[in-house]
Amino acid sequence: MNRTFWKNFNLGIELDIAGNFIYNGLKYFDEMESLYYDDDIFTFLYQIAVGIERLEKISLILIENKEDIENEKQLKFEESLKSHNHIELLRRIKKYHKLTFNKEHNKFIQILTNFYKDSRYGRYSLANLNNYDEEKNILVTFINKYSTENIDNTFGTPVRQNNTSIKNFIGEVVQKIVLSLYQVIETESKNQNILTHEIRFDSKASKIFLQKKFDFNNEKILIKELMIFMLKNNSGFIKYLKSIEALDFDETMLPYYFKCFNNDVVKLKYIDELNSQYESVKNAKERFQYLDILDFENIDFDDIDKD
């Protein structure tokens, strides 16, 4: 009973957590405007490495820990999971499930293993002084070798722009690895009549495991379509929105401002401009109150008297 509860609920939560890490890593990569900054590459690799590692460990518990065993053996098994070696964890899974990866998938798993075991601590070591951008160089080399892109990683060259082709390539590599592991979890769960594989629909993990979407193209289309709909609409909500006096932003910058709706990093570029605009607002507190109302869902905006 305890083992069933453990697998159903504890591991079910872990599956959601793994999905969140993978979603966040891909979203972060999607928002990266270039492959120039080492901290961006680190953050992406860290979240993907953690997400995939947790999927591997969920798989191994379902595969190797099916029956009640004495406490000492249980503790020994759990100790064997305290590894950050993605390759070794995958080797154990492959003893029971056939997973077919191409060269780029195996190479990416190797990159994650090396990164999580060693590279992520590299800058804490004086001996590693000249390898301060190791993750970036490894990822760029990987993209150049296995994708259709050719990024010049030579010092002094222009900033290496991230583009749709690169984002799609990385998404496809991650997708193959992640969904292969999820298939193992789903198969083992169904064979054992447990629900570890089930994902709640209103979560980041559902996009990864249920929708099987590893890019953010639909989200970007949704924002554009909603924006068009709102501009054409004349509901109480839109009337209320239009009744609030606009700040004096630069209309020639509208295409750049528009990117704020899809990218948290881009938003940061315009916060100083926003603060500057608020210096001329006579009653900022009152304006904030008007803006806060836009967050309320159960309001009849036709009945609001803004005056």
Query: 10-residue block means of pLDDT along the chain (307 residues)?
Result: 80 96 97 91 96 96 80 80 89 95 97 86 63 84 93 67 94 98 96 91 94 95 95 91 93 94 92 95 93 89 70
Place of tokens 């064979």: 191
Same domain, 96 and 162: yes
Pair (58, 161) in one structural domain = yes
pTM value is 0.90
Phi-psi region of 8 (alpha: psi -120 to 50; beta: other; left: phi over 0): alpha
Asked if residue 263 and residue 203 are part of one domain, the reply reads no
Supply 288's token pair: 């904030």
Q: Answer yes or no: do 249 and 207 share one domain.
A: no
Q: What is the pLDDT of residue 287?
A: 94
Q: Which residues contact 235 (CB under 8 A, 6 or more apart)?
A: 301
One domain, residues 134 and 154? yes
Residue ending a domain, among 215, 246, 270, is 215
**End position of a domain, from candidates 164, 189, 215:** 215
- Dist CA 195 CA 244 (whole Å): 50
pLDDT of res. 175:
98
Find all residues with CB under 8 Å of 213, minimum gap 6, and list them.
Answer: 207
Angle made by CA atoms 32, 41, 142, in degrees to the nearest 5: 105
Task: Find the domain containing 233 and state its range.
Answer: 218-303
Using a 10 angstrom Cβ sphere, with 0-12 exposed, 13-18 middle and 19 or more buried, the burial of residue 107 is middle
Structural domains counted in the chain:
2
CA distance 170 to 301: 44
From start to end of 151-307, where are the E strands? none
Q: Are residues 152 and 75 in the same domain?
A: yes
Shared domain for 161 and 78, answered yes or no, is yes
CB contact set of 277 (below 8 Å; sequence gap of 6+): 247, 248, 249
Do 180 and 52 fall into the same domain?
yes
Query: Is residue 289 located within the same domain as residue 196?
Result: no
Q: Within this chain, do residues 286 and 181 fall inside the same structural domain, yes or no?
A: no
- Does residue 231 share a domain with residue 88? no
Which of 215, 237, 263 is where one domain is finished? Answer: 215
pLDDT at 76: 83
State residue 170's pLDDT score. Answer: 98
Place of tokens 């989200």: 219
Answer yes or no: do 199 and 226 share one domain.
no
